[in-house]
């Protein structure tokens, strides 16, 4: 994270719950018709675990998703005929994330030779937990700027009586980058394995969800992919920094790091 004065820092109590990078390309049918063993050989040292699933695409066709997972389960690399993606729930900083992406993306380009990328996306899902931050007595308008709060910016509104209130924005950030943003209170859920099978468990505590989906579309040539992602990351940094108050910034325990 970088502040308005250029200071760079990380949060000891980061609210990030997931970061996803997805790169879409014109369909490569061989990924569906032939097991990507050659690709696995190039990423197996970092992503030794393998899973395969079959999902329904938008057109109703079956889509094979090949997942390569790090040994500790912290990172997942997904490969289908139309996209490659890297996701993590253990994000530390942009440099580490980009490094995890760099090698498998280079190997993918070498093996499958996509002509270009149709969409380059980066998504940051933040969920602010007031209990974890020792801010139980604070209202959401003590933590976030008014433009992301709707009626919750009114001190006269009883937060406990508001069943739903969110701000959803779609906007252009520059000549190429665009943003889909969801901001508002909500509950997190997770899937757990039980003797009866998989169950969806909902966290009883309300979090403030700040979900940024940043992307660039069009004909993105291969040499420009990492710079496009770096630009999207800079936009995400700025947007989150401008959305929070000093109260929330301090509660997340920022630690200054060298540039």
Q: Which residues pair with 171 in a beta bridge?
A: 179
Whole-number average pLDDT of the chain: 92
Asked whether residue 85 falls in the same domain as residue 61, the answer is yes
CB atoms within 10 A of CB 7: 12
Residue 14 covered by a domain: no
Q: Are residues 150 and 249 located together in one domain of the fold?
A: yes
139 and 218 belong to one structural domain:
yes
Q: Evaluate whether residue 21 is within a structural domain.
A: no
Is 15 contained in some domain?
no
Q: Looking at the structure, do residues 141 and 217 belong to the same domain, yes or no?
A: yes
8 lies in some domain: no
Strands (E), the chain: 9-11, 16-24, 49-56, 62-69, 75-79, 83-88, 117-128, 167-172, 177-186, 189-194, 197-202, 207-220, 254-256
Residues 158 and 77 in one domain: no
- At 102-148, the pLDDT tens digits run 999 999 999 999 999 999 999 999 999 999 999 999 999 999 999 99
Question: 88 lies in a domain?
Answer: yes
Residue ending a domain, among 75, 92, 113, is 113
**What counts of helices (H) and strands (E) characterise the chain?**
5, 13
Tokens 């937990």: give the residue. Answer: 129
pTM of the model: 0.92
Predicted confidence (pLDDT) per residue in 124-135, tens digit: 999 999 999 999
Tracing tokens 């994330």 back to the chain, one arrives at: 97
Number of domains composing the chain: 2
**180 contacts 170 by C-beta, under 8 angstroms:** yes
Residue-wise pLDDT for 62-91, tens only, equals 889 999 999 999 999 999 999 999 999 999
The DSSP secondary-structure symbol of 42 reads H
In percent, the amount of the chain with pLDDT more than 90 equals: 79
């Amino acid at each position: 994270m970088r502040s308005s004065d250029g200071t760079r820092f990380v949060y000891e109590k980061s609210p990030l719950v997931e970061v996803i990078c997805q790169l879409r390309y014109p369909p490569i049918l061989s990924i569906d018709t032939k097991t990507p063993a050659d690709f696995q050989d190039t990423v197996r040292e970092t992503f030794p675990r393998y899973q395969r699933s079959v999902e329904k695409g938008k057109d109703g066709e079956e889509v094979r998703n090949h997942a390569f997972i790090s040994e500790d389960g912290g990172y997942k690399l997904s490969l289908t005929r139309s996209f490659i993606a890297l996701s993590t729930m253990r994000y530390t900083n942009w440099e580490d994330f980009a490094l995890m992406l760099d090698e498998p993306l280079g190997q993918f380009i070498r093996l499958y030779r996509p002509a270009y990328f149709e969409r380059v996306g980066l998504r940051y899902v933040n969920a602010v937990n007031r209990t974890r931050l020792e801010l139980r007595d604070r209202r959401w308008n003590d933590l976030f700027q008014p433009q992301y709060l709707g009626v919750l910016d009114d001190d006269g509104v009883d937060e406990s009586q508001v069943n739903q209130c969110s701000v959803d924005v779609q906007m252009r950030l520059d000549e190429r980058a665009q943003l889909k943003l969801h901001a508002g209170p909500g509950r997190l859920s997770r899937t757990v394995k039980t003797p009866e099978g998989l169950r969806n468990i909902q966290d009883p505590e309300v979090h403030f969800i700040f979900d940024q989906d940043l992307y660039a579309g069009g004909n993105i040539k291969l040499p420009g992919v990492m710079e496009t992602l770096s630009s999207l990351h800079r936009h995400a940094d700025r947007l989150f920094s401008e959305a929070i108050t000093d109260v929330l910034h301090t509660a997340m325990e920022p630690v200054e790091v060298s540039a």
